Amino acid sequence: MCKVKVVHVVHDFLFGGIEAFLFYLTQAQAKNPELDVSILCCQDKDAIANKRIVNTGIPIFYVKLNPFDYNIRTYRKILKITNTHDIVHLHIFKPLMAEALRFSKAKIIYTNHSAGVDGRPDTISFKAKTRLLVRFLNSICDSVTNNSLYTKDFWIKMGVKNPSNSVIYNGVLFKDSWNEKRALEEFPSLNEKFIIGTTSRFISWKRVEYLIEAFFEMQKNNDDVMLLLVGDGETREKLTAYVEELGITKKVIFAGFQTNVIDYQAVMNLCVFASSSEPFGLVAVECLHLGKPTIVFKDGGGITEIIEGIEKDFIVDDIPQLTSLLQAKYTEFVEGEVDDSAQKRIEYAERFNVVEIEKEFYDLYKQTVNF
């Protein structure tokens, strides 16, 4: 049997959306008997902090690529690897590597994982890199995919004109079981409480402070509520100080980074993601698959696109509207109202099952290499 040989290219196995998607996708692709999948990581093997992709058994090549790396031997190593594959599937953009791939024998597919400018660098170098990326997508790539309609529209506005430009949503490898007791045992104050939560990187455009502010207003007249914040990042210290300033430290738990976030999502009565210009939003899909009510903001980008398909009433315009919705869902909980939409959310989330997403990429691979 002739297999399609594909190598995914990433910078590092960082804790974020791209890493999570690659973790899910490569496991699904490894089960496809007509695919031979591997990864090219542009980092030293010893420098990898997040080992979960490494532990899947997917073959990984390591070629460290420094910023503005002008060493021709580095690019020769990369080309030596790509030339043994049918498809190079890029998830990152490095201008010099992109130019080197002009000489690759493999077909080039690039997935856009980012969109929007909220909270992103607004520097000359960032703008120059964006222009170079557009040129690369138009002149070197055989196919371009985007993780949402929002992302595709953004890059079209930026100048992408590649005729092979499609949307293939990110996918999730859903778990069949989880440890719901884990969070309750680790944080006993959560027991018998109405739990509002989020799982997120703590960076500026995730806007976790919006959720904190809405929770602060909502909890004033409700003693049996808790806010569970799962994640870490550069804004954590500022967020912790904000919680202390508001005087709600006893009602807010910073759980830190967790590898099995589903254990924490499972205890949440309500999930909130306040991001702006989010390209996709795997966490929202994960929460929906647990049947959880999931709230996003109107300017959330791709994550809003997900919620639009199932519960438009859970898209808010601002913090006061979020506060009101938190209170409304809490009131329903206290009054014992049954959430009859849980099963609908689970069924809807299956649209983003990585098993189905893998099939879409495989079809694209075959089309690109004319198999």
- The pTM assigned to this predicted structure is 0.92
- pLDDT tens-digit map of 82-129: 999 999 999 999 999 999 999 999 999 999 999 876 555 677 877 888
- pLDDT tens-digit map of 253-267: 999 999 889 999 999
The residue type found at 134 is: V
pLDDT attached to residue 272:
98
pLDDT greater than 90 at residue 157: yes
pLDDT attached to residue 192:
95
The arithmetic mean of pLDDT across residues 28-49, rounded, is 93
Which 3 state secondary structure label does DSSP give 351?
helix
- Taking alpha carbons only, the member of 293, 8, 307, 260 closest to residue 148 is 307
- pLDDT tens-digit map of 301-342: 999 999 999 999 999 999 999 999 999 999 999 999 989 999
Name the percent of the chain lying above pLDDT 90.
86
The token pair at 73 is 């031997």
Q: Which residues contact 342 (CB under 8 A, 6 or more apart)?
A: 291, 292
pLDDT attached to residue 2:
82
pLDDT attached to residue 50:
80
Buried b / exposed e along 34-67 (16+ C-beta atoms within 10 A):
ebbbbbbbbbeeeebeeeebeeeebebbebebee
Name the percent of the chain lying above pLDDT 70.
97
